[in-house]
Amino acid sequence: MIHPKEEKTFVMVKPDGVRKGLVGEIIKRFEQRDLKIVALEMFQATRDQIDNHYPKDEKWIRRLGEKTLGTYEKYGRTVVDLEKDFGSSDLLEVGKQVRGWLVEFMISAPMVRMVVQGVHSVDMVRKIVGPTMPYMADMGTIRGDFSVDSPLMANVERRPVQNLIHASETPEEAMHEIEHWFGTKTIYQYKRFGIDE
Ligand code: IDP
Ligand code: MG
């Protein structure tokens, strides 16, 4: 087992976060919570890179579709509405369409990628970022403080929910994403005052 202080997670400021000028604010919130930035870069992703970033397995894609249907039902809309908006009520097909919107969005402007290290960094970062849907995110989280999007609006406009940041959800996802985005790059080591010495 790695030392708890060595836990790393992957974060990307999405195009909406960059275009809203939130790069500094986002990094600040991780650093002020004693998390350490150990790799950092602005870049523009290729379609292929994003396609390989989001899982391609049926289970993950279907989950996106299920989430979408869940939102429809929560707001009194039905499978019939889903079929009208997506041309299908097959949740795998719905998930594929949402994934496609995501890929297009993520290549639309530069992003900032980083590796964040610290005790429970995966969970800590997700907590600081807030839940996927900004309209549900508490004040004090990044998504809660700086965005208000909802899938109800996004699905009608045929675009992904804009929630400023991507952050790994599990240590396994983090490992895969760090390898994918920083595989050939340097992850730095240094001692943070007050944390490492
Ligand atoms: P996460 O980014 O909080 O980890 P995931 O469930 O992994 O959320 O979904 C990936 C991304 O897909 C979300 O950040 C969001 O941009 C988009 N997304 C998720 N569900 C929907 C939806 O129902 N409609 C449109 N976009 C969605
Ligand atoms: Mg995710």
Q: Low-confidence residues of the chain, pLDDT below 50?
A: none
- Rounded Cα distance, 82 and 85, in Å: 5
The Cα-based distances of 151 to 10, 34, 119, 148, 155 in angstroms read 24, 32, 32, 10, 6
Identify the residues whose C-beta falls under 6 Å from ligand 1. Answer: 64, 67-68, 71, 98, 102, 132, 151, 154-155, 160-161, 163, 166, 169
Is 180 catalytic? The answer is: no
Distance 197 CA to ligand 2 centre (A): 34
Counted residue by residue, the chain has a size of 197
Residue 117, pLDDT score: 98
Residue 194, pLDDT score: 86
**Pair 6, 187: CB distance under 8 Å:** no
Chain position carrying tokens 């999007």: 149
Q: For the domain 1-44+110-191, what is the CATH superfamily, name and number?
A: Nucleoside diphosphate kinase-like domain (3.30.70.141)
Model confidence pLDDT, tens digit, residues 17-75: 999 999 999 999 999 999 999 999 999 999 999 999 999 999 999 999 998 999 889 88
Residue 152, pLDDT score: 84
Distance 173 CA to ligand 2 centre (A): 9
- Judge if pTM exceeds 0.85: yes
Please identify, by atom number, the ligand 1 atom nearest to the C-alpha of residue 68. Answer: 23
Domain with CATH 3.30.70.141 in the chain: 1-44+110-191
Residue 2, pLDDT score: 85
Contacts of residues 27-35 at CB distance under 8 Å and 24 or more positions apart, as own/partner, are 27/114, 29/128, 29/142, 30/116, 30/125, 30/128, 33/118, 33/124, 33/128, 34/118, 34/192, 34/194, 34/195, 35/116, 35/117, 35/118, 35/121, 35/124, 35/125
Of 3, 120, 166, 176, which is the active-site residue? 166
